[in-house]
Amino acid sequence: MLRLPILYSFRRCPYAMRARLAIAAAGVSCVLREVVLRDKPAALLAASPKGTVPVLVDMDGRVIEESLDIMVWALQQRDPLGWMPVTAGARAEQAALIADCERDFKPHLDRYKYASRFTDVDAAAHRDRAARFLARLDRQLVSHQGLFGEHRMWADIAILPFVRQFALTDTDWFAAQPWPHLQRWLSAFLSWPLLETVMTKFEAWDRVAAGVVFPDACAYQEPWHDQ
């Protein structure tokens, strides 16, 4: 196998999903090791003792432990879809929205979807608090196909996996909400060929083989309306 960066991933994790999306969009090859989170391999823990995914180990030994940093790592090498904002101001604006998602939405998503893991949690109350952020996104999507223009950008890709996770928790409830722009945005994401690529099921890494080369195709080039 060619000498490539190593990506430790878990298919359904939204953080790992957005990292894989950026890597696949950039067409940057890596060796993917699918992790079983209840039985984390020693190699992952040696690279990143916190034991969460995604983790990327570059060919020079540098370890990148945060999904947003992995996205930047990939897109700085190649960005054929123009996901990264060109100016520092635009990048800061998108980074602020991503931070709001992780502060104002993700904790409530966890307590809505995984209420049994917490003590004295009202799942419906957390669903409703998370919904405030989704309503904000719906308003932002009124005039554009994406959060910051007519095509997906860094913020869209960083946030969409979490909105997907929320919507799948109770699809009937989500479909009944007055968020037509958000629902259109999510629907386009769910039918996107690139998402299908990064959601390919791989066997758990057996700790003997190197892993699988990911992605197995060049970066996608479709315009938004074809996605």
Tens digit of pLDDT for each residue in 152-185? Answer: 999 999 999 999 999 999 999 999 999 999 999 9
Q: Are residues 22 and 108 in the same domain?
A: no
User: In the chain, what is the greatest distance between 2 CA atoms, to the nearest angstrom?
Assistant: 51
pLDDT-derived band at 2, boundaries 50, 70, 90: low
Asked whether residue 1 is domain-assigned, the answer is no
Tell me: do 109 and 39 sit in the same domain: no
Kindly report the CATH number assigned to the domain that includes residue 105: 1.20.1050.10
The answer to whether the bond into 54 is cis (omega within 30° of 0) is: yes
pLDDT at residue 227 is higher than 70: no
Count of domains observed in the chain: 2
For the segment 109-126, the average pLDDT, to the nearest whole number, is 96
pLDDT value of residue 56: 98
Band (208; pLDDT cuts 50, 70, 90): confident
Residue 106 lies in a domain: yes
Asked whether residue 209 is assigned to any structural domain, the reply reads yes
CATH number of the domain encompassing residue 30: 3.40.30.10
Angle at 147 between CA 131 and CA 130, to 5 degrees: 10
Percent of the chain with pLDDT over 70: 94
Residues 140 and 205 in one domain: no
Average pLDDT over residues 32-59: 95
124-152: pLDDT as tens digits = 999 999 999 999 999 999 999 999 999 99
pLDDT mean over 14-41: 95
For 146, the domain range is 88-192
pLDDT computed for residue 144 by the predictor: 95
pLDDT for the residue 225: 37
Residues 186 and 202 in one domain: no
What pLDDT is stored for residue 110 in this prediction?
Answer: 97
